[in-house]
């Protein structure tokens, strides 16, 4: 059985109500509750608005890209240096959700959705997001220009995810 989660900066959420999706997905049939698979949970162990570029090897990743971008790390998360204090100080709440009633929306991103109100099974406070990322094997790199990282990674053979880039400094367009 798949384990699903929702990360929030809000403690004490007793139920998740379906809401409009912030992104357009042609397959959605209304308001939804989003969940993330355990495999991709590391993508969301940051403050919500924190822009980030995460990358890892995939089945088609070249050995050259693996060495140039990852070195010995299985996963790298690039974050703008200005977000370092928030990553140190923000408390996150990891809600485990029941898998019943959820359907897969995007396999590569690990997104699941439910059209029903969802009550969490449990909640765990994460008082040190950087430690939680390290525990999942994620190397966090603080960078001056996140857009440059996104552009380099997008030209590589790596699997990658660019999240909340609208909050990244230095550009007016979204990758």
| pLDDT tens per residue, range 132-151 | 999 999 999 999 999 999 99
pTM: 0.89
pLDDT at 171: 63
Q: How far apart are CA 52 and CA 163, in angstroms?
A: 5
Q: How far apart are CA 131 and CA 145, in angstroms?
A: 23
pLDDT at 174 > cutoff 80: no
Nearest Cα residue to 69 out of 159, 146, 5, 164: 159
Q: How far apart are CA 86 and CA 89, in angstroms?
A: 5
pLDDT category at 167 given cuts 50, 70, 90 is very high
Alpha helices in 54-136 (DSSP H): 63-65, 84-89, 129-135
pLDDT at 34 > cutoff 70: yes
- What percent of the chain is predicted at pLDDT more than 90? 87
């Amino acid at each position: 059985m798949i384990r699903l989660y929702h990360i929030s900066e809000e403690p004490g959420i007793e139920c998740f109500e379906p809401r409009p999706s912030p992104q357009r997905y042609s397959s959605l049939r209304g308001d939804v509750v989003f969940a993330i698979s355990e495999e991709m949970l590391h993508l969301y162990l940051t403050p919500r608005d924190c822009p980030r570029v995460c990358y890892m090897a995939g089945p088609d990743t070249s050995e050259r890209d693996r060495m140039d971008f990852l070195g010995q790390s299985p996963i790298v998360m690039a974050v703008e240096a200005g977000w370092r204090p928030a990553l140190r100080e923000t408390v996150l709440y990891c809600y485990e959700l029941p898998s019943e009633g959820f359907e897969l929306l995007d396999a590569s991103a690990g997104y699941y959705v439910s059209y029903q109100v969802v009550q969490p099974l449990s909640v765990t406070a994460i008082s040190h997001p950087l430690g939680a990322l390290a525990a999942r094997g994620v190397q966090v790199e603080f960078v001056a220009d996140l857009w440059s990282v996104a552009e380099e990674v997008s030209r590589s053979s790596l699997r990658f995810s660019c999240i909340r880039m609208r909050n990244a400094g230095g550009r007016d367009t979204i990758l």
